[in-house]
Amino acid sequence: MNQTHFDTVIVGSGFGGSVMAYRLAEAGREVCLLEKGKAYPPGSFPRSPYNAHDNFWDPKEGRYGLFDLWSFHRIHALVASGLGGGSLVYANVLVRKDEAWFVNENLSQGGYENWPVTRADLEPHYDRVEQVLSPKPYPFEFAPYSGTSKTQAFWTATKRAGLEPFFPGLAVTFANGDAAPVPGEPIHEAEPNLHGRTRLTCRLCGECDVGCNYGSKNTLDYTYLSAAARCGAELRTGCEVKSFAPRDVGGYTVTYVEHPLTAAGPADESAPSTSHTVTADRLVLSAGALGSTYLLLKNRIAFPRLSRRLGTCFSGNGDLLTFVRKRPNAQADPEMPAVIDPTFGPVITSAARVGDALDGDGSSGRGFYLEDAGFPAHLAWALQVMAAPGPLLTLLSQRFLWDWTGKGADPRLPSQLARMLSGNTLAGGVLPLLGMGHDVPDGRLRLRAGRLDVDWNRRASKDYFKRARATSQRVAQELGATFADNPIRYLNRLVTVHPLGGCPMGRNEEEGVVDSYGEVFNYPDLCVVDGAMMPGPVGANPSLTIAALADRCADRLLEKRRRG
Ligand SMILES: Cc1cc2nc3c(=O)[nH]c(=O)nc-3n(C[C@H](O)[C@H](O)[C@H](O)COP(=O)(O)OP(=O)(O)OC[C@H]3O[C@@H](n4cnc5c(N)ncnc54)[C@H](O)[C@@H]3O)c2cc1C
Ligand code: SF4
């Protein structure tokens, strides 16, 4: 912690920041990565309600946990704080952005997005990132994976609805090398990870979105950040960047607060937060779409020549969460599982793509992906308890009747207890469906009374959301199930786990805040490399595209240094 000048300071350790840290450190640059959250070794993700209580990010209340929830007027956004950023809670799906969805609209004539890169530009970078994150399709052909009933239900229902389901790449380790997959085996790693702990192959527990306690996810801490640390990058956790400004001699000064965290443990409340300053030849903001845009907006006074496009192109990547619920007395369907146990298997196993007018294959409207989802067993138990009062009352009144009438009652309860656990279509019969796709990026991030705010509503994307919802309804129908919206929709709000934009790429400062390599127009060696640089929705799950863009940005930075 003593060094105060670096070649590069990186703010944030998500998909943008981690790739940059590794690539620059590997090339011999002195890198310091500042991450506001803590490190999460295997076993450190909270599970009990008591510990979950502190698992939110709110330093002013003394909370330094994983979940950072933002609530804006029409949209809520969930992101993560921790070493590895969103990878710690993501559902592991890595899909390349569709070639036709690198849209080129004329912004001065009412268009919304104009991508200065193409799929071909990103192809080698997608390849390189995939080599590190090792996505693999869900091994459904092997037992016990073949018993994943939500996968079976999703495939049958989407096929009947005329869609083509597929197994997307999941950045999860199911097996050692080419061996057959086995749950819960020690993973053989070529090099030790930064936590110095043994990881286990996926145990199918459905907890990917609350942090994997077995280290089965190939998250950024086990991959890029471990490699960056081995190359000498300094990873400082609990360090929240507050301000930065250009230096007269070139480069940037960065001021951050060090929070009183103990590694992976609760905050040490007796210790005060301390303020520190470091300097760097180049500064990379990778604090996520909300974090990086917020930092630039807050520090705008030090950057008077920033593009007026700052804050624009915000989108929730078309996120739409809905639910299908099996009817309690649905007729037996030989192709459908009797229960949809959403707690078995990784959170997402499968996807189906719905075409877009841009595909040029006769599709109309805006396209999207539909994916199955799951939830952890502790949530299923909570749902079970919610449904329990009925059977519990029956049991108690039966016993009361037996006692009162004096008739001999069977004193053994197993079957009655078993009945209390059966037939709950909330815990065992719900299939969450995640839609995401090509919505209209017309939101704007700004500061209101010093706080981040979003001007966004779904008006421009009304047809998109209607279409995504109607498709989910059709899938529910094919399952013989009832369809339910996310309850929050009734408050005219949406929830996104994929906030994007705010510092969009462009060909010049009229079009964007940064160029296609993430460098801020008019401010050499200041970069934004993360979801904020998207000029529109990725459409598919965005992490792989963020990482591929970061890999491309790192190439350019290194090339520039060699030339300079
Ligand atoms: C529940 C859930 C499931 C998801 N599933 C998928 C999926 O299956 N596939 C997929 O592609 N995407 C998924 N995502 C989305 C994915 O996580 C994000 O798109 C991705 O992480 C964004 O990467 P990023 O580099 O832009 O920023 P992030 O990953 O958000 O990283 C930003 C980092 O910066 C840190 N930071 C912020 N401000 C500061 C500051 N001032 N100082 C220091 N550090 C700071 C944060 O703590 C964070 O660690 C999911 C997200 C969630 C919440
Ligand atoms: S299903 Fe469980 S073990 Fe497998 S990756 Fe997800 S959280 Fe880890």
Over residues 145-167, the pLDDT tens digits come to 999 999 999 999 999 999 999 99
Q: What is the mean pLDDT of the chain?
A: 92
Cα–Cα distance between 441 and 463 in angstroms, integer? 14
Cα–Cα distance between 239 and 220 in angstroms, integer? 18
- Distance from CA of residue 336 to its chain's centroid? 30
Angle between helices 543-563 and 119-133 (to 10 degrees): 100
3-state helix, strand and coil shares in percent for the chain, rounded to the nearest 5: 30, 25, 50
pLDDT at site 326: 81
How far away, in angstroms, is 79 Cα from ligand 1 center?
5
Angle between helices 389-405 and 414-421 (to 10 degrees): 150
pLDDT at site 405: 80
The CATH code of domain 5-142+168-320+439-459+489-563 reads 3.50.50.60
How far away, in angstroms, is 521 Cα from ligand 1 center?
24
> If you average pLDDT over residues 198-214, what whole number do you get?
98
Angle between helices 462-478 and 149-160 (to 10 degrees): 110
505-547 confidence digits (pLDDT tens): 999 999 999 999 999 999 999 999 999 999 999 999 999 999 9
pLDDT at site 270: 62
Question: Which protein residues are within 6 Å of ligand 1, measured from CB?
Answer: 11-16, 34-37, 78-82, 85-86, 89-93, 209, 240-241, 286-289, 291, 295, 348, 497-498, 530-531, 541-543, 546
Atom of ligand 1 nearest to the CA of 499: 19
pLDDT at site 271: 66
Helix or strand run (H / E) with residue 290: helix 288-298
How far away, in angstroms, is 206 Cα from ligand 2 center?
6
Residue from 200, 204, 379 whose mutation best tests the ligand 2 pocket (most atoms within 8 A of CB) = 204
How far away, in angstroms, is 530 Cα from ligand 1 center?
9
Please name every residue paired with 8 in a beta bridge, in sequence order, or none if there are none.
Answer: 31, 282
pLDDT at site 329: 66
Q: Whose CA is nearest to atom 4 of ligand 2?
A: 202
pLDDT at site 397: 79
Is there an atom of ligand 2 within 6 Å of 199 CB?
no
pLDDT at site 492: 67
Q: Is the pLDDT of residue 269 over 80?
A: no
Lowest mean pLDDT among 216-230, 367-381, 441-455, 486-500: 486-500
Q: Contact at 8 Å (CB) between 508 and 536? A: no
pLDDT at site 386: 73
398-410 confidence digits (pLDDT tens): 777 777 787 766 6
Cα–Cα distance between 17 and 517 in angstroms, integer? 14
Helix or strand run (H / E) with residue 527: strand 526-528
How far away, in angstroms, is 95 Cα from ligand 2 center?
19
Whole-Å CA distances, 209 to 312, 322, 344, 414: 29, 17, 13, 34
Q: What secondary structure letter does DSSP report for 184?
A: T
Model confidence band, residue 331 (pLDDT cutoffs 50, 70, 90): confident
Provide the 10 A C-beta neighbour count for residue 172.
Answer: 23
Rounded CA Rg of the chain:
25
> If you average pLDDT over residues 380-405, what whole number do you get?
75
